[in-house]
Structure 1
C-alpha cells in the first residue's frame, strides 16, 4: 500500500474564449497534474493551478517544489484512509512554513495531496467525500449525506455585445446567482450594470468581483454608484497590500466584502478575523493548498461567524472540478459555489465523463471511489508539455 511512483506533469489547457478580469487575461491555462501510483496498482490524480499573481507560484516553481517531496515517506504504509488523512493534515511544505502568509507552494501541495487522496480512496474503496467526513476539524458543518449542488454563473469583462449575450444566457439557463467582473480599465461599470441588471432581472442574486482593481482611498467613490444595482457582496475590491484599510471602511460601503486574493493561507484567515476586514471567505482549492487546508479555513470561518464561498480558478480541468463537487456536496452552509464550468470554458478536458453543471447550475453528487471520474490518459498526454517521474523502491 506504499506509493510506488509519482509523475509530475505541466499541461496547457485550451480555453474556448479569452477570460478577462482586472488582474489578468488568458486564452489557455497552464496547470500542474500529479499522478500517484500505489504498489497495489491503484492510481490517483491531482491538479493545481499555479497563478503568480495569486500565490506567487508558476508551473516551474510548483514542479520544483514537488520534486523535493518524498511522497512515499510522507504517507508510509497506511492501514486505513483515516491514517492517510491524519498524515496529510499534519503535512506542510517548507516553502509554506517560511511564508508569512502561508501560501507559497499551495498549488503544488493541492496537486499532490489530491492525487494521494484519490489513489488511497480508490485503494480503500472510499469516495473523496468520505475524506471530508473523516476530517478531525471541530467546527465543520457537514451534510449527513451528499447533496445536490447549485453553482453560480459568471460574466467576465468582455465586449459590450459579449456581455449582453452572456447575461441572456445566464437568465435563460435559470441561474439563481451570477457574478459580474468589475473594475477593468476603460469600462464604465455603472453603465454596464444598468444593461446587465435589466437583462438578469431583480430576482437573480448579483455579486461583484473587482479583482484588486481599486485603491482604498477612492473605494467609496467606486462603490457608491454600484449600490443601486443591489449587489449581494463585493469581492476583493482592493490590492492585498491595502486590505488593512477595510477594517473601518467596509462599515461604510453598504455592501458585504469578500476576500479572495487576500485569502490564500491560514495566516490570511486569522488576520482577516483579527482585523475584521471581511464578511466572506472565498476558498479555492488550488489557492488554499488542497482539500484539508481548505477544510481548515472553512472551520475557522464557521468558528468566527464568517460566511463561506467555494470558488474555482478559470482553466481548472475535471480533476479540480470533481474535487470541488465533493466539497460542495458535503459541506453545509456554503452561501455561493463556483466551479464545474468545464464544457462551457474548456476546449478540451481530461475526464471521460462530462461533469459540467446542468440547467439552473444544478449538479448531482459524484459517485464511485476517489474523485468519481476517469482521467483519459491520451488527453492528458496531448496537453502535456513537461513530465517527470519519481520512483520509490
Structure 2
C-alpha cells in the first residue's frame, strides 16, 4: 500500500467571536488542510495552523514550503503495516527555511502532512492514532476513555467578566486559564474578580503571551500570586526568554514556555538555561503528533512537566488529533482543545467533537483520527487547492 495523492488546501474559517490576547487580535483563521489518499482508496486529513508570531509561518509560506519539499520522493514507499506507516511519517522533513536556527519554520505545514498520512494509514490498517503513542513512546502510553479539558478566559467585557468564570464554576470545570498582559487591562483587578467568581477550588493559571519586559516580569507575577495561580505561561518575548532563569528564583509560581518551545532545539536550550518548569505542547507548532511525543519524552527525562495546548482556530481535524494525544499520554498537567462549536463557525467534521458541560470528552476509538471530515463544509471554506503528489 502506498500514498497516491497528496493535496494541500488553504482554508479560511470565521471565528464565532473575536479572540484577544497580548500578542494578537483574531476574528478568523487561515489554516492548511492536507488530504492524503492511499492506493486502496483510504483517505486521511491533517491540519496545521501557521502563525508568524509563533513559528514564523504564514499561510503562503507554509504552502510554498510544502511545494519545495519533494514530498513525492519521501512518500515513495510501499507500506505493509501500521508500524511502517509510523516510521514513514516520522521521517517526513520539509525543505530548509533560511535563517531558521531553531528548526521550526515549517512545523505547522509538517503537522498537516504528518497527520494526513497517519490518518490515512490508520484507516487502512484499522488502527487509531492513540496507537502511535504506544509505538513511539511506550513509556508515556496510558489510555484513558475520557479527558477533561480546561476552560479559557480571554478579554471579556462588562457583565461577561462575571458571567464567564461563573459559567465555568457552575459547569464543573476543574481548570481555567486566564489571559493576562492585555493592553489597557489591570491584571490584579481582573484576576481578583475572576478568582472571586471561579471560587477557590478551580485550578487557575495565567498566560501572558509574551506581554512583559524582563525588568518587570517578576513583579508582575508576584502581584498575581495571592490569587493562587499554579503556573504562568510565556511571560516574556522569545528574544528575552533567558531572563526567566533568574525570574524563577524570585517567584513561587511554575513557569511554562509556549512560543519559546516549538522544537527540540528550543527544548534543549530551555533545559540548559533553566528557563522553565513546564512545556506547552501544541501539535501544530511542534510539527505534528510524533514530534510532540518526542518533546514530552524529553521533558519527562529532564524532570519537567508538560501540558497539551491548542491554537486558536483549530478545526475538528486538530481537535481529533489532540484528543488522541490527550487520551494516550500520561502525566499531562493541563489539557486544552476541542473548543470547536464554541469558537469556529465551521469545524469541518460530520460530528461535533466539542467538549461537554464540565470540559469532559470521550476518547475517539475509530480508525485513524476517529471521525469523518465533511467534504461539503471543507469545500465551503477552501480558498485554494494545490496538488503535492499524484
Alignment partner, residue 288 of structure 2:
290
Alignment partner, residue 267 of structure 2:
269
Flag the structure with higher helix content.
1
Q: Secondary structure of the equivalent of 1:169?
A: helix
8 Å CA contact 2:38, 2:120 repeated in 1 = yes
Q: Which runs of 5+ in 2 are unaligned?
A: none
1:257, 1:370 → 2: CA distance? 34
1:147, 1:115 → 2: CA distance? 24
Is it true that 1:305 corresponds to 2:303 in the alignment? yes
Is it true that 1:179 corresponds to 2:180 in the alignment? no
Change (3 A) 1:194 1:146: closer
Alignment partner, residue 314 of structure 1:
312
Is it true that 1:324 corresponds to 2:322 in the alignment? yes
What's the offset of the Cα at 1:97? 9.4
Among candidates 239, 244, 247, match of residue 246 of structure 1: 244
2:173, 2:258 → 1: CA distance? 22
Is it true that 1:6 corresponds to 2:11 in the alignment? no
Alignment partner, residue 334 of structure 1:
332
Write the deviation string for residues 189-213 of structure 1: whole angstroms up to 9, x where unpaired: 1111111100000000000000000
Q: Secondary structure of the equivalent of 1:360?
A: coil
Q: Which runs of 5+ in 1 are unaligned?
A: none
Alignment partner, residue 112 of structure 1:
113
Q: Secondary structure of the equivalent of 1:94?
A: coil
Alignment partner, residue 366 of structure 2:
368
8 Å CA contact 1:14, 1:27 repeated in 2 = yes
Alignment partner, residue 103 of structure 2:
102
Is it true that 1:57 corresponds to 2:41 in the alignment? no
Is it true that 1:204 corresponds to 2:202 in the alignment? yes
1:334, 1:390 → 2: CA distance? 35
Change (3 A) 1:60 1:90: same
8 Å CA contact 1:2, 1:72 repeated in 2 = no
1:311, 1:360 → 2: CA distance? 18
TM-score scaled to structure 2, two decimals?
Answer: 0.97
8 Å CA contact 2:72, 2:389 repeated in 1 = no
Write the deviation string for residues 311-358 of structure 1: whole angstroms up to 9, x where unpaired: 000110000000000000000000100000111111221000111111
Q: Secondary structure of the equivalent of 1:30?
A: strand
1:106, 1:370 → 2: CA distance? 21
Q: Secondary structure of the equivalent of 2:224?
A: helix
What's the offset of the Cα at 1:90? 2.8
Alignment partner, residue 220 of structure 1:
218
Is it true that 1:77 corresponds to 2:75 in the alignment? no
Alignment partner, residue 150 of structure 1:
148
2:130, 2:140 → 1: CA distance? 13
What is the aligned-residue RMSD (CA, Å)?
A: 1.4
